[in-house]
Amino acid sequence: MAYPYQIKTQADYEKAYKKSVEDPEGFWSAIADTFYWRKKWDKVLEWDFSGPDAPQVKWFQGARLNITENCLDRHLDTRGDQPAIIWEPNDPDEHHRVLTYKQLHQKVCIFSNALKNNGVKKGDRVCIYMGMVPELAIAVLACARIGAIHSVVFGGFSAKSIADRILDASADFVITCDGAYRGNKVIPLKSVVDDALVQCPDVKKVIVLTRTHTPVSMIKGRDVWWEDEIKKVETLGNPPCPAEEMDAEDTLYVLYTSGSTGKPKGVVHTTAGYMIYTAYTFVNVFNYQPGEVYFCTADIGWVTGHSYIVYGPLAAGAVSVMFEGVPTWPNAGRLWEIVDKHKVNTIYTAPTAIRSLMAHGLGFVEDKDLSSLRVLGSVGEPINEEAWHWFDEHIGKKRCPIVDTWWQTETGGILISPIATVTHTKPSYATLPLPGIQPAIMDEKGQEIPAPQKGEQVSGNLCIRFPWPGMLRSTWGDHERCRKTYFDAYPGKYFTGDGCLRDGDDGYYRITGRVDDVLNVSGHRIGTAEVENAINMHADVVESAVVGYPHDIKGQGVYAFVITEKEPDNPNLARKDILETVARIIGPIAKPDKIQFVKGLPKTRSGKIMRRILRKIAEGEMENLGDTTTLLDPGVVDDIKQGKL
């Protein structure tokens, strides 16, 4: 089956884009027609970005469906024996696993019944904290099949972060593993969950999958083994698990992400629009052809894994490779070895991975057969030209288009990106909006900047002026927060938090990075306020300020300026204590790369920390600090400069 909505030429793109703007309802309903519905919609779109209860966005109102019937059941007749998931383990010597659509369907049905047997019902929240094993995808899909709302928490987050998310979502159920393999490490996931649950007495059941045989404590009445629960269903003869009929706008999942405040938000995605948007963008951006092998290196703990390992590829009936390990273990050739082994046609990865592999040299690339590759993708942060060219030359051998895909947890799917084999690519440009996406570049006064003329470039803050099916609908438990965060800065528009530049010669967009207090460290989104709160929990710390600085591999590094009660006797030990505190409070991913102890922070008379100055110092730009006259005590700046790491 080819995809009727696949864009094959520049003319197709232009036609689709025009139609999507002139007649968005006609455009999206024609695509939606190719999916499986229990009942079709009464109305394609109703929306409001500016009222007091904004955003109000309803796609395919009145429609009834289950996303797993689209991701699994409807493929059974046409491609039941084709692999749905090819799973590559952490240890290259362990055998890989292949789950065909039939097998995945069966496993999802069995685990769905196991969830039901454990009391999970439609609308319940289920927190999933697992490593990258096939059962993670199975757990996600099983929740969706019975209408439970999944909230996946990345395996690198701490017990406290899990607890905060469980409490915010009032999740009554947790699915985890005894442990997870990542490179040469074993992460004791269940034990981290146990620490989290000390704060979450309402959690009724924890289902634990065996992976690493790490010793765990199983609490009577609360904790059960995945394998036992499956057996219970199997002894009943595997009764079928009909999918729960859901409303188009029922919540599919909540995924927590960092913003400029200290507390992560639960981004809410709903069912029908998200399904159509992830499938449509998957097929078009990667120019996916039926039967091809597609490999996204992300973790399902992040939105990229949700949309482009699980939902998008499976809704399109694709072959999706899932990798348990890390790109640099046992050596920096691991990703290329996987490409070679499974004859991967498309690899979708992050600039930080490319940069770290680049640093290990070509020895790990040259002995692999990468001739199966046809399309390369990048996501998570701006891709610098050096990394782009390395990817192009050494991995794509200059014959594979690179799609630099810009999007966010909130957008659900890719918004600005080349379309592989169609769009002419240009290093460091995400190029053009996909059909249905109407960007607007705004100036500081809140005015829209007109499109640049030839020979001209404009830059400003990136907004989107019209709804698209995959967008967030709310933030869990606090709709007003969603309005304030995304729809307040530029009334009537969705504000992305990113800055961008547009080139008048080709109309291309280049994403320049966050304009708020969000850092992008190795493609992970981290709020500076979150890190500061964590540092400030340390008993010796009075105050701290965190900024980002350019980092060769991570893209951005975390630089913390810290005031302590008294000068630390042993600064190195004090730094380690702070790192340990951050790892405890947020997780190891948020640990600062540099910690500088200071006596004071540059503050305005109203007490606001002038981060602009700290950012410059962290970047090593000591001279051009700009206007410091409004500072309460300009002297602190010299002190900080002298102590610069």
What is the CA angle 181-166-308, rounded to 5? Answer: 55
DSSP 73: G
Q: How many CB atoms lie within 10 A of CB 365?
A: 18
Does residue 407 bind ligand 6R9 (CB under 6 A)? yes
Show the tokens assigned to 526.
């981290």
What is the CA angle 625-628-633, rounded to 5? Answer: 125
Phi-psi region of 536 (alpha: psi -120 to 50; beta: other; left: phi over 0): alpha
Q: For residues 212 and 278, which CB has a smaller minimum distance to ligand 6R9 in the complex?
A: 278
Q: For residues 100 and 417, which CB has a smaller minimum distance to ligand 6R9 in the complex?
A: 417
Among 168, 178, 404, 517, binds ligand 6R9 (CB under 6 A): 404
Distance in Å, CB of 188 to ligand 6R9, minimum = 25
Does residue 304 bind ligand 6R9 (CB under 6 A)? yes
Q: For residues 407 and 597, which CB has a smaller minimum distance to ligand 6R9 in the complex?
A: 407
Type of residue at 79: R
Distance in Å, CB of 554 to ligand 6R9, minimum = 13
Interface segment toward ligand 6R9; rule CB under 6 A; list 115-123, 406-414, 587-595, 601-609: 406-414
d(CA 110, CA 380): 34
What is the CA angle 421-339-354, rounded to 5? Answer: 75
Q: For residues 307 and 581, which CB has a smaller minimum distance to ligand 6R9 in the complex?
A: 307
Distance in Å, CB of 354 to ligand 6R9, minimum = 12
| Sequence-separated (6 or more) residues with CB below 8 Å from residue 355 | 384, 387, 552, 553, 555
Q: For residues 496 and 596, which CB has a smaller minimum distance to ligand 6R9 in the complex?
A: 496
Does residue 514 bind ligand 6R9 (CB under 6 A)? yes
Please state, in angstroms and as integers, the Cα–Cα distance from residue 153 to each residue in 127, 368, 617, following that order: 7, 34, 34
Q: Is 220 helix (H, G, I), strand (E, B) or coil?
A: coil
Does residue 520 bind ligand 6R9 (CB under 6 A)? yes
Q: How many CB atoms lie within 10 A of CB 235?
A: 8
* Positions 522 through 581 that interact with ligand 6R9 (CB under 6 A): 525
Q: Which residue is nearest to ligand 6R9 (CB)?
A: 409
Does residue 308 bind ligand 6R9 (CB under 6 A)? no
Does residue 127 bind ligand 6R9 (CB under 6 A)? no
Does residue 266 bind ligand 6R9 (CB under 6 A)? no
Does residue 113 bind ligand 6R9 (CB under 6 A)? no
Q: For residues 24 and 264, which CB has a smaller minimum distance to ligand 6R9 in the complex?
A: 264
Q: For residues 504 and 513, which CB has a smaller minimum distance to ligand 6R9 in the complex?
A: 513
Among 266, 273, 382, 396, binds ligand 6R9 (CB under 6 A): 382
Show the tokens assigned to 320.
């999706």
Does residue 468 bind ligand 6R9 (CB under 6 A)? no
Residues 142-171 as b/e (b if ≥16 CB within 10 A, e otherwise) read: bbbbbbbbbbbbbbbbbbbbbbbbbebbeb
Total of chain residues touching ligand 6R9, rule CB under 6 A: 23
| Sequence-separated (6 or more) residues with CB below 8 Å from residue 551 | 521, 557, 593
Is there a contact between 476 and 169 (Cβ–Cβ < 8 Å)?
Answer: yes
Does residue 303 bind ligand 6R9 (CB under 6 A)? yes
Q: For residues 407 and 549, which CB has a smaller minimum distance to ligand 6R9 in the complex?
A: 407
Show the tokens assigned to 254.
């909540």
Distance in Å, CB of 389 to ligand 6R9, minimum = 16
Interface segment toward ligand 6R9; rule CB under 6 A; list 185-193, 325-333, 506-514, 554-562: 506-514
- Decide the pairing of beta strands 494-503 and 457-464: antiparallel
Show the tokens assigned to 3.
């995809």
Among 66, 100, 151, 257, binds ligand 6R9 (CB under 6 A): 257
Is there a contact between 286 and 413 (Cβ–Cβ < 8 Å)?
Answer: no
Is there a contact between 558 and 531 (Cβ–Cβ < 8 Å)?
Answer: yes
Residues near ligand 6R9, by CB under 6 A:
257, 302-304, 379-382, 404-409, 430, 496-498, 511, 513-514, 520, 525
